[in-house]
Amino acid sequence: MVSFKNTSLRYTILKQWIKFGLHIYFRDIEVHGREHIPVNVPVIFAVNHPNTVLDALLTSCFVKQQPWFMARGDVFRWKIFAWLFRTLRMLPIYREMDGHGKVRHNATTFELSSRILGRGGSLIMFPEGSHNRQWRIRDMRRGVARIAESASAKNPELVIIPVGITYFDPLYSFSDVLVQFGEPIKAASYFTGETTEHKLDRQKKLVNDIGSQLEKLTLHLSQDHYEEVYQCVKSLEHNAPETNSLLEDFLRLKKWIEACEADSNYGKPTEQSMTEQIKKKTFPALALFATAPLWLMGKAFTIVPQLSIWATTKKLKDDHYSGAIRFGMGIVIYTLLFFSIGLWSYLSTITLFWFLIKWAFLTFCLFFVMLWEEHFDNFLDRRFNRD
């Protein structure tokens, strides 16, 4: 039996653990626009979908609500996993490739979603329908509009919040991510009152408005000359100084997209800019060399977990799942490793003082590995989309 309570202690604990893990996994998470999210009203978070499960986690962990979200139906095949996923507030959604018989079950999921929203709950949806890390908002599916229409009839306060997630290096850890919540869209305004528009036209208008907001909240390139423009922007970013704000970086990229779409040769690096980049790397190189012994000590504890994560991601047929697998395996393995180090320190130390010193030092080395490798990636200019 599925519980439709809007809050859950088990969910709260899990959410805080995952949120802590996200802050370790990413170098920087910057969130803007949370003031747009109303309280005590049902909300559909309409999110772009560049990085599979991480998109849902980044949305749910930085809002006050405890939203449900939809996941691929094929992972619900086994009853024990179906129970677990529903406990984690996941609902199955089936695709045409899963077979027509399975797709019919989506009607049940839509009904459950409508009930959740009707009771004042919240839901994460991906209007594009599938994941794709290209800088482009694709055509919107009508599923979000269908659910919004049904739920707004039960609770006219329902709003849709577009959410734009921008990964600066989506496949790897220690990268940056920007999460932006857009202005609320009141669903009832599309489906109530006098109108001559057909039902499908109203749904289409709603998803088009959601898509327009998502284009503003993300890095969106037109399909025409996509690769030329993308490489032009990457060339510009490669030689750009970092700012103290991911939002500033994002706005700079938006301007460069506009400039590169007008002229794809806009981003050619000059000899002077390349010389300045070499000068900037002198001090970071010395700092990395001086702190390498601490990195080696921490690496002794982390080499096996890192190799296991690396080996698993190499076997993936769809590298879009690479980031999610890295995070999922990492948060479990490193949590166990943290407590294992604590247990070993306790069993191998006589006094409480030296136990705490040993545990603190080894934990510092554990996290220093992540910090060192983050700066090493920056030194090699891997901060930004290394594909």
Instruction: Tell me the per-residue pLDDT of 172-189, one tens digit each, with 9 for 90 and over.
Output: 888 899 999 999 999 999
Which stretches of 218-321 are DSSP H helices? 226-238, 246-262, 271-280, 282-290, 292-314
Confidence (pLDDT) at 264: 66
pLDDT at 29: 96
89 burial (CB, 10 Å; 0-12 / 13-18 / 19+) is buried
Of 277 and 198, the structure prediction assigns the larger pLDDT to 198
In the structure, what pLDDT confidence band is assigned to residue 387 with cuts at 50, 70 and 90?
Answer: low
With the CA atoms of 279, 281, 285 and 287 taken in that order, what torsion angle do they form, in degrees rounded to the nearest 10?
100
CA distance 334 to 319: 22
Residue 209: pLDDT band by 50, 70, 90 thresholds? very high
Q: Which of 128, 134, 319 is nearest to 226 (CA)?
A: 134
> Are the C-beta atoms of residues 160 and 126 closer than 8 Å to each other?
no
Which residue carries 């407590």 as its tokens?
339
Give the pLDDT band of residue 378 (cuts 50, 70, 90): low
Residue 92, strand partner residues: 71
pTM assigned to the model: 0.85
Predicted confidence (pLDDT) at residue 322 exceeds the cutoff of 80: yes
pLDDT-derived band at 297, boundaries 50, 70, 90: confident
Whether pLDDT at 284 is above 60: yes
CATH entry 3.40.1130.10 includes domain 9-217: yes
Give the pLDDT of residue 184.
96
CA-to-CA dists, residue 119 to 4, 6, 77, 258, angstroms: 8, 8, 28, 43
138-176 pLDDT, tens digit per residue, is 999 888 999 999 999 999 999 999 999 999 988 888 889
Sign of CA dihedral 242, 245, 246, 247: negative
Residue 310's CB is within 10 A of a number of other CB atoms, namely 10
Residue with token string 């901060």: 383
What's the rounded Cα separation, in Å, for the pair 138 and 147?
Answer: 20
Q: What is the mean pLDDT of residues 33-56?
A: 93
Instruction: Tell which wins on pLDDT, 194 or 215.
Output: 215
Tell me what percent of the chain is helix, strand and coil, each rounded to the nearest 5. Answer: 60, 10, 30
Query: How far apart are alpha carbons 265 and 353 in whole angstroms?
Result: 62
Domain ranges in the chain?
9-217, 226-278, 283-379
pLDDT of residue 384: 73
Q: Under a CB-based contact definition with an 8 Å cutoff, are residues 77 and 195 in contact?
A: no
- Are 163 and 62 in contact by the 8 Å Cβ rule? The answer is no
The tally of CA atoms less than 13 A away on the side-chain side of residue 155 is 22
Contact 56, 64 (CB under 8 A): no
Q: Using the predicted structure, report yes or no on whether residue 274 has a pLDDT greater than 80.
A: no
The SS3 of residue 336 is helix
Percent of the chain with pLDDT over 70: 87
Quote the pLDDT of residue 267.
61
What is the average per-residue pLDDT within 65-80? 79
- Highest mean pLDDT pick, 42-56, 224-238, 363-377: 42-56
Compute the distance between CA of residue 332 and CA of residue 92 in angstroms, rounded to an integer: 24
CB 70 within 8 A of CB 89: no
Q: How far apart are CA 143 and CA 239, in angstroms?
A: 42
Is pLDDT at 127 greater than 60 in this prediction? yes
Q: Is the pLDDT of residue 278 over 50?
A: no
Quickly tell me which residue has 């090699």 as its tokens.
Answer: 380
**Residue 44 pairs with which residues in a beta bridge?**
123, 160
Distance of CA 247 to the CA centre of its chain: 16
pLDDT of the residue at 347: 83
**68 backbone dihedrals φ, ψ, rounded to 5°:** -85, 160
